[in-house]
Amino acid sequence: MSKSVGIIGSGGVGKTLGLGFLKQGYNVTIGTRDPAKLKEWKDKAGEKASIGSFADAARCDIVVLATLWTGTKSAIDQAGPDNMKGKVVINVTNPLDFSAGPPPRFAATVENPGGAQVQAWIPGARVVKAFNTISANIMIQPKLEDGTADLFIAGNDEAAKKEVTAIAQAWGWGSVNDMGDILMSFWLETFAMLWIYFGFKNNHWTHAFKLLRK
């Protein structure tokens, strides 16, 4: 039987990754506080997709966290940290503060990156920070005209990082670079800021990072 993926978050990231996992043969549940807004997505996604609560998503085999940063702790509490015990949790969130309008300000520190905060909020889960340095609309099709995007991931659990690497490779990502433990999330989050500021400065939203080696 195919594994199930639960996505806590119904924005562009949740909907896009949901379709990406469905293409890979997983059953997908998107969790939201407002199921009505996902009717159109469900019609497009088909039989293997369902809509539920944050807790329904957290009960799936693999969990994706894709919530607005300021709502993330609350969404985790509603999902139930115990529901994610022992599971791979792919954390796509970025610690952004939109309170002063766009562009958002960075809302984490090197000692306490967003990724480490999420791991502390779900202590029993195997959190992997990933997919946070690219826009949702190209997250599952990272082959661009200028080349194939490379991914940077971080987390404390080696097996979980291997699982996320396989998922990324199935979507066609280039090299998947394991940067180390969850504290390394900080650097992935600053990369996201670079991505965001490039976007605002150039009004360009389909760029991505590639690591060149000699």
Ligand X SMILES: NC(=O)c1ccc[n+]([C@@H]2O[C@H](COP(=O)([O-])OP(=O)(O)OC[C@H]3O[C@@H](n4cnc5c(N)ncnc54)[C@H](OP(=O)(O)O)[C@@H]3O)[C@@H](O)[C@H]2O)c1
Q: How far is the CB of 125 from ligand X (least distance, A)?
A: 17
Judged by beta carbon, residue 2 or residue 120, the one nearer ligand X is 120
Order the strands of the 176-178 sheet from edge to edge.
49-52, 27-31, 4-8, 62-65, 88-91, 126-129, 151-155, 176-178
Cβ 15 to ligand X, closest distance in Å?
A: 7
CB of 46 to ligand X, least distance (A): 20
Question: Parallel, antiparallel, or unpaired: how do β-strands 88-91 and 126-129 relate?
Answer: parallel
Q: Which is nearer to ligand X, 29 or 67 (CB)?
A: 67
Task: Give the residues lining the site for ligand X (CB under 6 A).
Answer: 9-14, 32-34, 66-69, 71, 74-75, 92-94, 96, 132, 135-136
Tell me the closest approach of the beta carbon of residue 132 to ligand X, in angstroms. 5
Cβ proximity to ligand X, 84 vs 213, nearer residue: 84
Nearest to 103 by CA among 11, 199, 189, 209: 199
Amino acid occupying residue 86? G
Whose Cβ is closer to ligand X: residue 115's or residue 174's? Answer: 115
Task: Give 165's Cβ-side CA count (13 Å radius).
Answer: 15
